[in-house]
Structure 1
């Protein structure tokens, strides 16, 4: 079994889900008392969030490459970044180490394509929904047509992530707001919805959407198990 190197804490609410899903899946596949071999470098998300919203992506890149080098030195065989947004600097992270990086978008897109779908709605932080590092990978590498919410809906989705979900707050009103955003994406032609922020799975489930949901947290965690046991 390979050792998984998690870069987490962004936020720890979703990193805890990675740890749970990975270990439950290893136990299910191998039986008995088996669990995953892993280590985690966990960030202080307060510092990360401040740098994100001040636009200091150079400093964030330094933080991420430092974390990747630490998990490599700690004995990890590959790296899993437990957040969609911080894949903004995935290329820099991959270049800073000699072990593979398992990109969160790739197993997600593979699963979407495997379902025969081509047009998806993307929910995530404003950075993920608006910048090209994520949408562009889905479109250029996998040929997916990516829809994002309109400006007001993007603000709503982003606000709920940063003021509620990263703090572990689950509000019924916010679930209703996300349901409305999803309905509008579906009305615009989305065949499926990608939960492109690792905290959204804490709020939204399949029952909240009229079309299939692709939860990047679960998909990425299960892909990590596949890689670790291959």
Structure 2
């Protein structure tokens, strides 16, 4: 079994879901008392968010690169960057280590292709949707990526940052996000990516009719395949 490096804390609630998902997956696949080999670096979310908001992505990249290097020194065989938005500095993180950093967009695209999905909807933070760096990486795999109507961007961002990062789950917010998912389905999406890890705390498959891809689940399954393969 390989050791998985988790670069988390952005937010800690979603990182906790990564940790739980990986350990449950190992137990499911191997049985008995097996648990995952994990090393974790947890970042101060407030610090990197303030740098993001000021546009200082170089400083964000330096912080996450140092943390990734620490994971490698601690024995990680590969790294997961446990936050969609902060994949903006993926190149800086990957350059800081000699071990693989599993890009979330790549494994999401591979999952879509395995499911026969050619057009996928994408929901995330305002920054990630407006800058499209993540959606473009998915599209580079030959997929069409549909983003929500711009009128919904501020609402989604507020739900993520004012509710879900504090593990506050409001039924009204669930209904609102589910309606946005339905709009993407109506626009031709054959599936919808919940592209902020916190959204998996809110929307479940039973809440909508279109297939939804939870980024944590997809990233975790890819990590399990690699660690146990």
Report the TM-score range of the alignment, normalised by the length of the smaller protein.
over 0.9
Which residue is 1:155 aligned to?
154
- Return the offset for 1:102: 0.8
Give 1:97 deviation, angstroms: 0.6
- Partner secondary structure for residue 6 of structure 2: strand
Alignment of 1:68-79 (within 5 A): 68-79=68-79
Aligned to 2:134, what secondary structure does the other structure show? helix
Unpaired segments ≥5 residues, structure 1: none
> Partner of 1:174 in structure 2?
173
Tell me the distance in 1 between the aligned counterparts of 2:104 and 2:35: 22
Matched, 1:145 2:144: yes
Give TM-score scaled by structure 1 length: 0.97
The CA RMSD over aligned residues, in Å, is: 1.0
Partner Cα separation in structure 2 for residue 28 and residue 188 of structure 1 = 37
Shift of 1:84: 0.8
Which deviates more, 42-51 or 115-124? 42-51
After TM superposition, the structure 1 = structure 2 runs for residues 12-27 of structure 1, keeping only pairs within 5 Å, are 12-27=12-27
Equivalent residue of 1:199, what SS?
helix
Structure 2 match to 1:80: 80
Q: How many residues align?
A: 229
The 5-angstrom pairing of residues 40-189 of structure 1 reads 40-140=40-140, 142-189=141-188
Structure 1, residues 57-84: CA drift from partner, whole Å, max 9, x if none?
Answer: 1111111111111111111111111111
CA distance in 1, matches of 2:182, 2:38: 38
CA drift of 1:133 comes to 2.0
Alpha-carbon contact 2:169-2:202 (below 8 Å) kept: yes
TM-score using structure 2 length:
0.97
In structure 1, the residue matched to 2:194 is 195
* 1:169 Cα offset (Å): 0.6
Distance in 1 (alpha carbons) for counterparts of 2:30 and 2:176: 40
- Distance in 1 between the 2:53 and 2:156 partners? 15
Q: Deviations over 1:27-54 (max 9, x none)?
A: 1111111111011000111112222222
Counterpart residue number, 2:217 = 218
* Structure-1 separation of matches of 2:64 and 2:44: 12
Q: Distance in 2 between matches of 1:128 and 1:217?
A: 16
- Measured against aligned partners, the alpha-carbon deviations of 1:15-35 in whole angstroms (never above 9, x if no partner) come to 001011100111111111111
Structure 1 residue matching 2:135: 3-state secondary structure: helix
Alpha-carbon distance in structure 1 between the residues aligned to 2:104 and 2:215: 7
Q: Shift of residue 86 of structure 1? A: 0.9
* Deviation of the 1:149 alpha carbon: 1.1
